Amino acid sequence: MRSLSLLRTWPARRWWIAVGVAVAYVLIVGISTAMIETPVFGRDVPTTWWAWPALIIAAALSGLLTATYVRVPGGTSDAQGETGTRRGMVGALLTWFAVGCPVCNKIALLVLGYAGAMTWFAPLQPFLWMAAIVALVWALAVRLRGEVSCALPVAAR
């Protein structure tokens, strides 16, 4: 819980980055999965009831995670970065697969066919989203924990 209280001490710059990344994430994933209608992409299967909340939660977590990489003046460096980065990227990718159209996903369509994508892949999508949230929360926790414990002093220039 100490890590979450650290969010209250963040400077405005980190919060602006978090909000900007979250908005960009919603736009990129929403447009590429045709949750946001455009003349470029179409969607054969309607968006599920849980896809928008899933996308917004994942975007918020991705924004917070990205903001942990913004340097704070007088801050410390941590050795937890790469682990958090990998988990965060896995979470972001899993969210894309989770909220996307099951038959618009070329990988699922090639491997399973149309019927297989609807029968096997579509029911797995909520579980992919849950795995994405776990990965994003884990990555954020690792990054925040690295800011409050085992801090290394910043090298003098």
Predicted TM-score of the model (pTM): 0.81
Mean pLDDT over the full length of the chain: 82
Residue range 52-72, pLDDT digits in tens: 999 999 999 999 999 988 877
What is the number of domains present in the chain? 1
Structure confidence at residue 6 (pLDDT): 77
In the predicted structure, residue 80 carries a pLDDT above the cut 50: no
Q: Is 156 domain-assigned?
A: no
Residue range 103-128, pLDDT digits in tens: 777 777 677 887 777 888 888 889 98
Q: How far apart are CA 115 and CA 121, in angstroms?
A: 10
In the predicted structure, residue 87 carries a pLDDT above the cut 60: yes
The domain of 118 spans: 2-148
Q: Is 79 domain-assigned?
A: yes
Q: Is 67 domain-assigned?
A: yes
